[in-house]
Amino acid sequence: MKRTIIDASQLELTDKVVAIKRVTKTVKGGRNMRFTALVVVGDGNGHVGAGLGKAVEIPEAIRKGKEDAMKKLVKVAMDESNSITHDITGKYGSSSVLLKRAPEGTGIIAGGPARVVCELAGIKNIRTKSLGSNNKQNVVLSTIAGLSQLKTPEEVAANRGKAVEEVMA
């Protein structure tokens, strides 16, 4: 999967915490408590990313997760009705998410983790179905994997050496 690097400093990013987990490690003196935060960032205009932060305190874990997500931004191809350009299935680990185009006025029909990704990417009309594992981290990452594989009709036409009208027909 090719990934283009996007400069996050030029974007107005908003972030949402999808999950916070408490993780314990048993050591000789007792238990060590740490927190893991899954954070999704997006500009609402076709850029979205997810990151994981781990720290002793929750706010620090969230900050680290946000920084990680900003490093992993992807561009999402959208059409004129603020939906995706074509249907696709995103896969990550044992989780896969089916992403389907939707006409204007449909809204975001998606489960929790996939909904957050679609909202922050700026998608207004989409239908999704989570298949396989429902692990929040894997669902978020498979949704982003699917969105990053989307192509615009212009890109498809250029790859095939045809006009955009021929591809759309």
Q: Does one domain contain both 82 and 163?
A: yes
The CATH number assigned to the domain holding 89 equals: 3.30.230.10
Pair (136, 148) in one structural domain: yes
Kindly write down the DSSP assignment for every residue of the chain, as one continuous string.
-------GGGS--EEEEEEEEEEEEEETTEEEEEEEEEEEEE-SSSEEEEEEEEESSHHHHHHHHHHHHHHT-EE--B-TTSSBSS-EEEEETTEEEEEEE--TT--EE--HHHHHHHHHHT--SEEEEEEE---HHHHHHHHHHHHHT---HHHHHHHHT--HHHHH-
**59, 116: one domain:** no
Same-domain check for residues 51 and 100: no
Mean pLDDT across the stretch 143-149? 95
pLDDT tens track for 65-85: 999 999 999 999 999 889 999
Domain that holds residue 29: 8-74
Clarify whether residues 104 and 152 are in a common domain.
yes
Helix axes 136-148, 112-121, angle to 10 degrees: 40
Whose tokens are 């990417």? That residue is: 121
pTM given for the model: 0.90
Last residue of a domain, one of 25, 56, 74: 74
Return the number of other C-beta atoms located less than 10 Å from residue 72's C-beta.
19
Could you read off the pLDDT of 32-77 as tens digits, one per residue? 999 999 999 999 999 999 999 999 999 999 999 999 999 999 999 9
